[in-house]
Copies of this chain bind each other. A is one copy, B any other.
Amino acid sequence: MTSRPRLTLPALDPQFVAAASTSNYPAQFKPSVAGRAKKKLGDALGLKNFGVNLTTIEAGGASALRHWHLKQDEFVYVISGELVLVSEAGEQLLTPGMCAGFSAGVADGHHLVNRSDRAAMYLEVGDRTPGDGANYPDDDLIARAVAGGWQFTTKNGEPY
């Protein structure tokens, strides 16, 4: 700790933002993201047009199921540790300072996997374009944005 005064808005020190490890996935998919904890920096700063999370992935964890969005762009930037980006192009190791971006509507399922023996941390940004959805090429899962959250179904439209 330093003796510096605590930052006040519009500045923010992420160490004072609580991390959430919850997932809105159907129960059977939750274990895949059990090692994930998100600090919602954008929300804590009062931002509305996009979200920014500072996310930690424990060793062996993953950012999400492999997925892609219909309407919303995504950006990730690695802060510490090492994460493997899995996408249709294959696997690529991202070290601190490396980034990746996923354009809305591009059918390239992606996620970040921590195959190292220590935690990794990255910033993730996503906009809030309405009418979004997510497709999951490796799982029998589809997500559609609904008022207040996400609705998950099987690819045949069966509810979970």
Contact = CB atoms under 8 A, between A and B. Distances in A.
Contacts of A77: 41, 52, 123
Interface of A: 4, 7-14, 41-42, 44-50, 52, 72-73, 75, 77, 79, 85, 87, 89, 92-94, 97-104, 106, 108, 110, 123, 125, 127, 129
A99 B50 contact: no
A73 B50 contact: yes
Nearest to A71: B49
Contacts of A47: 73, 75, 101, 103
Given A11-B92, A48-B103, 19 more contacts: A10-B102, A11-B85, A11-B87, A11-B100, A12-B98, A12-B101, A14-B97, A41-B75, A41-B101, A42-B75, A47-B73, A47-B75, A48-B104, A49-B104, A49-B129, A50-B73, A50-B125, A52-B99, A77-B123
